[in-house]
A and B are shown apart, each in its own frame.
Chain A
Amino acid sequence: MDGTALILLLTFLVSVTGLLVFIWSMSNGFFNTKQSASHIIFGKNEIGLVEDPASNQTSNELQEAAGETDATLTQKELSDRLIADKSSALPTFVCLLTAMCWLIVGSAAAIIASIKLHEPDWLVSQAWLTFGRMRSIHLNAVIYGWASMAGVGVSLWLIPRLLKTPLVGAKFVYWGAIIWHVALMCGVAAIGAGYTDGMEWLEMPWQIDIFIVLGGALMGLPLFLTLANRKVDHLYVSVWYIGAALIWFPILFFIANIPNLHFGVQGAAMNWWYGHNALGLWFTPIGLGAAYYFIPKVLGRPIYSYNLSLLGFWCLAFFYSQVGGHHLIGGPLPTWMVTLSIVQSMMMIIPVFAVAVNHHMTVGGNIKAVIHSPTLRFIVLGSMLYVAASVQGSLEALRSVNVITHFTHYTVAHAHLGMYGFFTLVMFGSIYFIMPRIVDWEWPHPWMISAHFWLVALGFAVYFIGLTTGGWLQGVAMVDATKPFMDSVAVTLPYLKSRSVGGGLMVLGHLIFMIHFILISLRYGTKKEPALLIPKVNIPFIKEAKVVATELKRG
């Protein structure tokens, strides 16, 4: 037996043994995985009560869709939650506002880059406008600006709720955010000016990366400080996801950016270890952590299987962390490494299936609730696209599929299915839930939420279907050596144009979202009393709870 086969066999054995040990330890209660553990995000008698601050608060449609109930919150639970929400309000707002600004910057760069691919003589007089730089500006703005900041903001808001403990160390977030954003602005400017470390996802010069690490560490600190003070007796699955992500990302980013360490082909292996783990160990756990909170919370219904959610977490962590090599199939790398990544890419089907079953069973086909809850509309669609993106990713790792899709726009479409279809939509949904709690105000214009949803959903459908088709045709043309290479370029043109159209709709949706975000931040419109917590709970009671909350905060 040669070394490659031995390593693979060993990895496989380690994977399966790990899985079995984990299942055994769960069944023996080592992980505190009684189904009742999933009730921790609710008050004692709250199950059955819906909560979506973005839904119409004056009518009872969402509650009706979820089923009538006598469930309610005690005054203590309500004021505790108000205190928790208050403690995270400002740091979360800072993160979300800056995230939204980067979303607009990233969208603008995206549309310019997209148009350039079918209009190559457009905007060619300046170096910073060239495709290669615009594309990198887009990537860095949406990854480190929009997605990371939205993820941190949503995490910071979730932590006090999940731990039933006010956020500790908010001031670290402000300093961290300032450092992170100044560094990111310098990084994006550096890319525009042509200074780059030259690797995809790692373009920003390493001198700037030092400050990204510092800023990120400061923003993550409150999680650990709050954990040390927690009042709940065990950690809900979302805390596992979010906590692990906040441990993983700084390590990944730091190792990847150490200058003068990585070389030649090894640099490529490291590049995709980082690139895919940024996805798998940073954005995915945060997105799933948010979905695992908001889906049950909005519906007032605990997650279908708590065991499955934890199993999904550990499988995701183990398998996802090793799939990076599938970006280098057919490349000049050690075969064992690429094969290992292909194997783990297939193993990813297990955690993905766990999430799919769990979310599907929790929503339970309650389409009516999904329609009446803006938060759910985005998050359920995002969650479905997570499953789609992951299954697609596993298939793309197969050599027979990869030979066609690798090096084509098909991969670009796939990357957007994950980062946009899944992660970004989940963040949109989360922001719709969170903002009314932060500013104590309802979203002024429900039509803007609908417009945002349909523009990005339709826009992304056009984007994804077009680019996937075009990419596949490009790949098929490219592996047919009887056709000239230029055929593989020509065949993509209509689809590249459709991508600009779809992308345009998405950007329009983002602009509407941004305007609405500004309006709610300014508390635009007339105040509607019930905008507070829960329609079922009567208003004087909420007012009393608020007084209690304010007093407790002061004292």
Chain B
Amino acid sequence: MAGHIDEKKLFTGALVIIAFATLALVVMPYVQLKNVQAPAELKPYTDQQAHGRKVYMSMGCVYCHSQQPRDAKYAPDDKRGWGRASTAADYAYDTVHLLGTMRTGPDLLNIGARQPSQDWHLGHLYQPRAYMPGSIMPAYPFMFVERKGPAKEGEVVLNLPPAFAKPGITIVATRDALDLVEYLKALDRTYPIKKTIEQSLETAK
């Protein structure tokens, strides 16, 4: 049919358009961000923290928690104690991004600085409402082992607030819970950063 001229227009048009979009939203950010250096204060994740990060992903924490405080000029994220506006360099070790799009719960990019207590985190995972009345975060009892009798050596035992404690039952954290908490405690980008993102890109060149 007339050399299938419509098909040629369709194919060419569709490919040009997707190439343009990919250039703008994938390739150009790739080129621009590739050389961003990690700040000296930011340490790579330890094995334990990296595993905790995997647990964070597998439990789908990202669907309720963002990791991207916005600029104080734009939104009052800093006034909530969530920290300064983050920059691309803060995510130098985050090979799968966990920026998130939802704040059913608070932003967590600096939760480690806000709440450094392992006890608090473990108890909060086991029963969020024991620490935060009115919270709608799911409880994660399956990340703990409950049994009668004392804990074995090396095991981390939960100390719940008296109203939520279970007398006679020992609640022991699993490795998943411990590593997840290690990751949460490592979430700390409170070091000062003087450069804006555009400036850090400039120096990267």
Q: Which residues of A contact B (CB under 8 A)?
A: 4, 11, 31-32, 116-118, 120-121, 124-127, 130-133, 135-136, 194-200, 227-228, 230-235, 239-240, 243-244, 247-248, 251-252, 255, 262-273, 277, 281, 314, 317-318, 321-322, 324-325, 327-328, 330-335, 337, 340-341, 399, 403, 406-409, 411-412, 478-481, 485-486, 488-490, 493, 496
Q: Does A117 contact B101, Cβ atoms closer than 8 Å?
A: no
New A-B pairs, 20, CB < 8 Å, besides A133-B60, A233-B1, A489-B135: A120-B137, A121-B138, A130-B60, A135-B60, A196-B57, A196-B58, A239-B10, A262-B30, A263-B95, A264-B92, A264-B94, A264-B97, A273-B25, A314-B13, A317-B17, A330-B75, A334-B29, A334-B197, A412-B102, A486-B134
- Mark out the residues of chain B between 82 and 104 whose CB falls within 8 Å of any chain A CB in the assembled complex: 85-88, 90-104
Q: Does A399 contact B74, Cβ atoms closer than 8 Å?
A: yes
- Mark out the residues of chain B between 41 and 96 whose CB falls within 8 Å of any chain A CB in the assembled complex: 57-64, 66, 68, 70-71, 74-76, 79-80, 85-88, 90-96
The stretch that binds A, out of B116-124, B139-147, B149-157, is B139-147
- When C-beta atoms are compared, the residue in chain A nearest to B66 turns out to be A407
- When C-beta atoms are compared, the residue in chain A nearest to B202 turns out to be A3
B160 interface residue per 8 A CB criterion: no
A118-B30 Cα distance, complex, nearest whole Å: 40
Q: Does B88 contact A333, Cβ atoms closer than 8 Å?
A: yes
A230-B68 Cα distance, complex, nearest whole Å: 52
Contact among B24, B102, B141 with A337 in the assembled complex (CB-CB below 8 Å)? B24
Q: Does A325 contact B14, Cβ atoms closer than 8 Å?
A: no
If A240-B10, A266-B30, A333-B88 touch, does A200 touch B101 (CB 8 Å cutoff)? yes
Contact among B26, B63, B70, B95 with A273 in the assembled complex (CB-CB below 8 Å)? B26
Interface of A, secondary structure class, is: helix
Q: How far is the CB of B149 from chain A (nearest CB, A)?
A: 21
B132 interface residue per 8 A CB criterion: yes
Q: Does A132 contact B61, Cβ atoms closer than 8 Å?
A: yes
Contact among A117, A233, A486 with B132 in the assembled complex (CB-CB below 8 Å)? A486
If A243-B10, A244-B13, A478-B103 touch, does A322 touch B25 (CB 8 Å cutoff)? yes
B115 interface residue per 8 A CB criterion: no
- When C-beta atoms are compared, the residue in chain A nearest to B74 turns out to be A330
Q: Which residues of B contact A (CB under 8 A)?
A: 1-2, 4, 6-7, 9-11, 13-15, 17-18, 20-22, 24-26, 28-30, 32-34, 36, 57-64, 66, 68, 70-71, 74-76, 79-80, 85-88, 90-106, 128-129, 132, 134-143, 197-198, 201
Q: How far is the CB of A195 from chain B (nearest CB, A)?
A: 7
A227-B22 Cα distance, complex, nearest whole Å: 27
Number of A-B residue pairs with CB-CB distance less than 8 Å in the complex they form: 235
Contact among A120, A251, A479 with B18 in the assembled complex (CB-CB below 8 Å)? A251
Q: Does B21 contact A321, Cβ atoms closer than 8 Å?
A: yes
- When C-beta atoms are compared, the residue in chain A nearest to B90 turns out to be A332
Contact among A130, A200, A325, A327 with B62 in the assembled complex (CB-CB below 8 Å)? A200
If A328-B99, A334-B197 touch, does A321 touch B60 (CB 8 Å cutoff)? no
A490-B97 Cα distance, complex, nearest whole Å: 29
Most chain-B CB neighbours within 10 Å: which of A126, A196, A255, A314? A196
Question: Which residues on the A side are within 8 Å of B75 (C-beta)?
Answer: 330, 403, 479
Contact among B80, B129, B137 with A481 in the assembled complex (CB-CB below 8 Å)? B80
Please name 10 pairs of A and B residues whose Cβ atoms are closer than 8 Å in the assembled complex, sorted by A. Answer: A117-B104, A135-B60, A235-B7, A264-B94, A317-B17, A330-B70, A330-B75, A332-B88, A332-B91, A485-B106
Question: Which residues on the B side are within 8 Å of A489 (C-beta)?
Answer: 104-105, 134-136
A321-B26 Cα distance, complex, nearest whole Å: 12
- When C-beta atoms are compared, the residue in chain B nearest to A127 turns out to be B142
A411-B138 Cα distance, complex, nearest whole Å: 21
If A330-B75, A399-B74 touch, does A335 touch B128 (CB 8 Å cutoff)? no
If A317-B17, A321-B18, A335-B198 touch, does A267 touch B96 (CB 8 Å cutoff)? yes
A478-B88 Cα distance, complex, nearest whole Å: 24
Q: Does A406 contact B25, Cβ atoms closer than 8 Å?
A: no
Question: Which residues on the A side are within 8 Å of B129 (C-beta)?
Answer: 120-121
Q: How far is the CB of B143 from chain A (nearest CB, A)?
A: 8
Q: Does B29 contact A407, Cβ atoms closer than 8 Å?
A: no
- When C-beta atoms are compared, the residue in chain B nearest to A322 turns out to be B21
Q: How far is the CB of A545 from chain B (nearest CB, A)?
A: 25
Q: Does B201 contact A334, Cβ atoms closer than 8 Å?
A: yes
Question: Which residues on the A side are within 8 Å of B100 (C-beta)?
Answer: 407
